[in-house]
Structure 1
């Protein structure tokens, strides 16, 4: 049976930008608006109908309804509201993001960040960087067109946000009271697991047909950026495996590949150190428990009270980056990460079902390389040499 083509949708960030633009047009251009369009960072034009529009002399409010397409998103069909208002006094509004004369904040149903390590500062509403940029750009464009040079306050809120957030990881991440306004490309491109696995399989097959014996394996964009910026490697010799680590390793082995350089952010790869073959959050989140298990064997010299305190700190960490900080302060980060990458290597090689040699590099954006297996440097250098040879052939 032919698989149904899944329909794409729009992120909460795109919805917020649409609502903010519409409210700005209503207020600054004094126009009646029924629908609004914005261009997403991914190059797709989003057009949305407006709901609950209201305008006074000093403010305007409207909402759009989120359409997540066929993506299983808890915020699908939620109303995302925005208001734009003139700022009366000379003081700056509190708890706001700012871009020139435009201020941005959240309202009910948009969570407030209470723990460090996220893309938004503690004390501010969880409106991520790309949605912030979209909102500022859209409102600024309307203000410029209307000749408005006064200060404006944009507010985003989601009436059902507090309830919806209970079905997300926000409470665990320390984002309280609502959902996050998220998005990078501005669009949600759902893909069935079968289609994604088929794409990964095809990439391995093409690499093998081209004569590659070793392949770089990384979960996603973080790993790809790290390869380029830190290891001076492109993904030309690699495959993105998404969350399907174990499946991808088996695919590589089935194609007859001999070596894998497994590179990724510790927040994703640490799960592999615990034998987790699919790293999607729907299969559970044991990151901190696995981090502690890798560190525990190196804490014997610590006093019992210090060891217990470190365990509590790691297990209570909001992000793996925070756990890394505690391990470093205790002086056990390096050995803990060596244990982690060796365990990752062992699982990857076991999953292959044949004599595939795996080397592992894991990192965080703040610390850079946290751990790498003993043979990783040689494998990295081999990839560099092949990449340079390929570039010379092109010239």
Structure 2
């Protein structure tokens, strides 16, 4: 039987619900256990309010984040929304404890502002305008105390968001296991590096590639985590009009790219052994060697076979060249791609000429 996955609501929706709870109290003297509001998607939300605390000239509402069945790191944390009325007509947003501050250009929010994204700001503003006339404004302070520690498990430090997490949500709804949401959390890395003038960037699927890139002396701010979504990130890089991308990662990931697979999760694509066998045969490996490759489970297990046939110096550069070619083909040659493949221990197996050219432009240290 297929389980129906339960949706939840974003941190932005929690802050909007807290805003409505405070305004119900300030404007109508109502203390509500839950509030209803419209998500930016148009769907109706009913969000419980854990606590409302009156303050001098305002109030603060606490909402517990419910991410449904999505493995969201903010699930179950307290989100506090404090609101004070003002007579300026302006709606001003402030970040309390656990909310990060934007420190780099390239994000949708200006440098120096709290990391409260445009979607949540719009949702909160919609709620405020239900209650307040245009000539009356308010000061909104959002706090997520747990965010100080949670931020260490996000991309915020890479993006230059310091001191906490972001208040996010483009629709207001958390969809369980949302692949699109994860993809969209990765692309701002490209924006931040681009805004810093880095038009040649380094894409790494994980820690192995990142460690090699750092060892080579490549600029840390140019190193972009792609996870399994290499195709998605290449598409965005081309859209952003980057000059070049250097792919750096383990053979097991990037050999899939050489075969034209750009979503590299094992459940989506594989063909690792088939690709290694095909190119080994192209370079002269006999049937006995090909059979040995197909008897392996991992690409690491294939490496000694490649060495036995003395194909290391030919095969790995060829695979890198092919991964670069397929990547450039994927984005209609709108940018140059080079590839470096490495072992689990971080030893470089091979690279192509594009990789060497991009590396030199990034002033790498190959010694």
TM-score over 0.5 for the alignment?
yes
2:170 is the counterpart of 1:188: no
- Describe the shift of the 1:115–1:286 C-alpha distance in structure 2 as closer, same or farther (beyond 3 A): farther
- Describe the shift of the 1:11–1:31 C-alpha distance in structure 2 as closer, same or farther (beyond 3 A): same
What do you get for the CA RMSD once the two structures are aligned?
4.5
- Describe the shift of the 1:362–1:43 C-alpha distance in structure 2 as closer, same or farther (beyond 3 A): farther
Distance 1:8 1:142 in 2: 28
- Counting matched residue pairs gives 253
Q: TM-score, normalised by structure 2?
A: 0.56
- Describe the shift of the 1:17–1:286 C-alpha distance in structure 2 as closer, same or farther (beyond 3 A): farther
1:348 to 260, 268, 278: 260
Match of 1:117 in 2: 106
Contact 1:362 1:372 in 2 (8 A): no
1:360 to 316, 327, 330: 330
1:365-392 per-position Cα deviation (integer Å, ceiling 9, x unaligned):
xxxx54599xxxxxxxxxxxxxxxxxxx
- Any idea what SS the aligned residue of 2:330 has? strand
Match of 2:123 in 1: 134
- Any idea what SS the aligned residue of 2:68 has? coil
Distance 1:158 1:286 in 2: 32
2:141 is the counterpart of 1:160: no
Distance 2:256 2:15 in 1: 40
1:242-291 per-position Cα deviation (integer Å, ceiling 9, x unaligned):
87xxxxxxxxxxxxxxxxxxxx99959x99976x5xxxxxxx3577678x
Q: TM-score, normalised by structure 1?
A: 0.52
1:312 to 198, 207, 219: 219
Contact 1:8 1:68 in 2 (8 A): yes
- Describe the shift of the 1:34–1:47 C-alpha distance in structure 2 as closer, same or farther (beyond 3 A): same
Q: Give structure 2 stretches of 5+ with no counterpart.
A: 192-199, 227-232, 262-268, 279-324, 339-367
- Describe the shift of the 1:50–1:336 C-alpha distance in structure 2 as closer, same or farther (beyond 3 A): closer
Alignment of 1:1-395 (within 5 A): 2-56=1-55, 58-87=57-86, 101-144=90-133, 149-191=135-177, 276=205, 284=206, 311-312=218-219, 314-315=221-222, 334=243, 346-348=258-260, 359-361=329-331, 369-371=334-336
Q: 1:337 deviation in Å?
A: 6.9
Q: 1:191 deviation in Å?
A: 4.1
Distance 2:256 2:108 in 1: 28
1:305-363 per-position Cα deviation (integer Å, ceiling 9, x unaligned):
xxx98x33655689999xx8xxx9xxxx64657999x99863416956599x9631189
Q: Give structure 1 stretches of 5+ with no counterpart.
A: 91-99, 193-218, 222-241, 244-263, 277-283, 294-307, 364-368, 374-395
Distance 2:46 2:128 in 1: 16
